[in-house]
Amino acid sequence: MKKLLVLIMALVMTLSLAACGGSKATPAVAPSTPASSTPAQVEEVEFTEEQQALAQEFMSMVEEFDAVADKVNANPELLSSEELVTAMNDLSNEIIKADEYFASPETLTPEVMGALTVAIDVGRQFIAEASAALDEAGH
């Protein structure tokens, strides 16, 4: 159980890095007119193949995390551990924050994509080890 908690916290910290890796450039004053005021100003920006592949990897990792979360949720003994439940909820919140980077291609800068790639790798490692620990514990 301690290994599981350590892995959860490591993933939370990694996802926090990904969530903090956004662009630092923000306008000092918001524009007075919306950017989409005329059709000529609206420019469709498409996701690159690399961004799409990263999004697919992220979604795959999230589905794997959901499977582990389902195992934890299905076991009353595990749900009675406040520390485990808090760690799982924190990790879920970090996944939600990281997911926001996939809202538009502009937010997926090379720095953010690098941080997300590391977070996905750590997430997959955590999920594999957590799943093995749950299986070993008979859950």
Q: Which residues contact 131 (CB under 8 A, 6 or more apart)?
A: 67, 68, 71
Q: Is residue 38 part of a domain?
A: no
Whether 110 is in a domain gets the answer: yes
Q: Determine contact, residues 73/79, Cβ cutoff 8 Å.
A: yes
Residue 123 lies in a domain: yes
80 part of a folded domain: yes
Which mean pLDDT values do the consecutive 10-residue runs of the chain (139 residues) have? 63 59 44 44 76 95 90 85 84 89 93 93 85 79
Q: Can you give the pLDDT at residue 4?
A: 63
Give the structural domain span for 58: 2-22+50-136
CB of 18 closer than 8 Å to CB of 112: yes
Sequence-distant (≥ 6) Cβ neighbours of residue 137 within 8 angstroms: 1
In a domain, 63, yes or no: yes
The predicted pLDDT at position 47 comes to: 92
**What is d(CA 78, CA 76) in angstroms, rounded to the nearest whole number?**
5
Residues 6 or more apart whose CB falls under 8 angstroms from that of 109 comprise 21, 22, 23
Task: Answer whether residue 31 is part of any domain.
Answer: no
**34: in domain:** no
In contact, 54 and 116? CB cutoff 8 Å:
yes
Structurally, how many domains does the chain consist of? 1
User: Residue 66 falls within a domain, yes or no?
Assistant: yes
pLDDT at res. 55: 94
pLDDT of 80 reads 85
Question: What is the C-alpha separation between 62 and 41, in angstroms, rounded?
Answer: 35
* Angle between helix 110-136 and 82-99 (nearest 10): 150
